[in-house]
Amino acid sequence: MLLSTGRHRRTRTLSIAAAVAVAAGAGGVYLGLANNGSAQAATTTVTVSTTAQLQTAVADAAAGTTIQVRGGTYYPTATLKSTANGTGSARITLAAYGSEKVKIDGSKLAAGSWLAGIYGDYWTVQNITWQNSPAQGFVVTSSVGGVFKNLVTADNGDSGFTLRGDGTTGNLVQNLDSYGNYDAANHGQNADGIAIKFGSGTGNKVTGARLYNNADDGLDLWQFSSPITIEHSWSYGNGKNRWNDSAFEGNGNGFKLGGGGASVAHVVNNDAAWDNAGNGFTENSNTGAIVLNRNTAYANTDAGFFFATGKARLARNLAVGNKGGLDKLGSATVSAANNWDSGTSTPSFRSTDATTAYGARSSSGSLPATTFLTTGSTTIGSTMN
């Protein structure tokens, strides 16, 4: 398990003279003046094509740095780590160069190492695959204003993508594919597609994610004490023993929405969970007033929606073919206009063939177009987009 750590900030003050000195020694550095004549932050673009260059660029990043990674597979020998802060007007960006395909592979890291650890604010990381780490794939700690877009976190030795720590505020995780993550040492107990754990902070959102074939859960919000918004995301095939582990202990919930004593009103809209070894959606003993609206749970091994102890608010959700029942709700749960409620019918699916949902994303990174689990209804169930 990850343990929450305190914030570690390194304040950077760049004088005009210092910025000019940097500009003199490095191509791509620019220092401008704002309309009022004050100095703007220095900006620099660094293009890397070797692992050594990548490691140096991440370690030396500062506000205004853009790191462009040329296509190929990179094998760092130490965790890619930074404590640098960007700002709202001078972000730090780490991205693939143009449309080139970039994979960062952790197979040469020491046992127990993360592949990447970001401890700063206002980072943008996009269009990169993070794979084969001995432990966590991509970990962000106590970040403010981060944007993590069009990423893949696959086949890592613990959770693929992690947000954690107090002061985790205003972060966006968009169009993440996270799959095949498995923690062998714990027999699959901890490796989630995305883990937002052991922390706090408002304004965090996950949208457009596909979380699948992970050893533990698709999404896990264990001991995160502030509301998170999860929308337009799919979680499927989690918790199945794909690694021939004779002592396998993965849970396999699609969306695990709390636990560890947290009482939080997360917001879960227009998502879908199918073919998971556990529940489709579960509070996991979170007693907060979780809001779930227009989600679909299909063919999960346990219940479609398990909210037995908290004050969840469920409306216009759809559950079909879940072996553990459509829903398991406690007396404090409010349930209205879901297909298990009296007076609400169950619309037919246009398709139960998931092939198109497993296909390639669009060029912008959005989820593939599919009729899988769609009904045409404007009032109930996920729209699957």
pLDDT at 297 over 70: yes
pLDDT cut 70: percent of the chain above it = 89
Exposed, middle or buried, 193 (CB in 10 Å: 0-12/13-18/19+)? buried
Tell me the CA distances in angstroms from 172 to 96, 185, 202, 203, one per residue in order: 18, 31, 11, 8
Q: What are residue 117's DSSP bridge partners?
A: 81, 139
The answer to whether the beta carbons of residues 262 and 200 sit under 8 Å apart is no
pLDDT band at residue 292, thresholds of 50, 70 and 90? very high
Give the pLDDT of residue 43: 87
Give the pLDDT of residue 324: 96
Over range 34-47, report the average pLDDT. 65
pLDDT band at residue 26, thresholds of 50, 70 and 90? very low
Q: What are residue 277's DSSP bridge partners?
A: none
pTM for this structure?
0.90
pLDDT at 319 over 90: yes
60-109 residue pLDDT tens: 999 999 999 999 999 999 999 999 999 999 999 999 999 999 999 999 99
Give the pLDDT of residue 209: 99
Sketch the domain layout of the chain as residue ranges.
13-42, 135-358
Q: CA-to-CA distance for 57 and 51, rounded, in angstroms?
A: 10
More confident residue, 182 or 11: 182
Tell me the CA distances in angstroms from 11 to 50, 83, 103, 120, one per residue in order: 29, 10, 31, 10
130-164 residue pLDDT tens: 999 999 999 999 999 999 999 999 999 999 999 99
Give the pLDDT of residue 214: 99
pLDDT at 17 over 90: no
Tokens of 165: 């720590």
Give the pLDDT of residue 42: 72
pLDDT band at residue 31, thresholds of 50, 70 and 90? very low
Give the pLDDT of residue 41: 58
Query: Residue 25: in which H helix or E strand, if any?
Result: helix 16-25
Own/partner long-range contacts of 338-346 (Cβ < 8 Å, ≥24 apart) = 338/305, 338/314, 338/380, 339/380, 339/381, 344/380, 346/318, 346/320
- The topology under which CATH files domain 135-358 is Pectate Lyase C-like (2.160.20)
pLDDT band at residue 28, thresholds of 50, 70 and 90? very low
pLDDT band at residue 27, thresholds of 50, 70 and 90? very low
User: What are the residue numbers of the active site?
Assistant: 256
Query: Residue 281: in which H helix or E strand, if any?
Result: strand 281-282
Average pLDDT of the chain, as a whole number:
91
The answer to whether the beta carbons of residues 111 and 88 sit under 8 Å apart is no
Give the pLDDT of residue 34: 39
Q: CA-to-CA distance for 269 and 159, rounded, in angstroms?
A: 23
pLDDT at 45 over 90: yes
Q: CA-to-CA distance for 137 and 242, rounded, in angstroms?
A: 19
Reference 97, options 42, 53, 155; nearest CA is: 53
The phi and psi torsions of 22 (rounded to 5 degrees) equal -60, -45
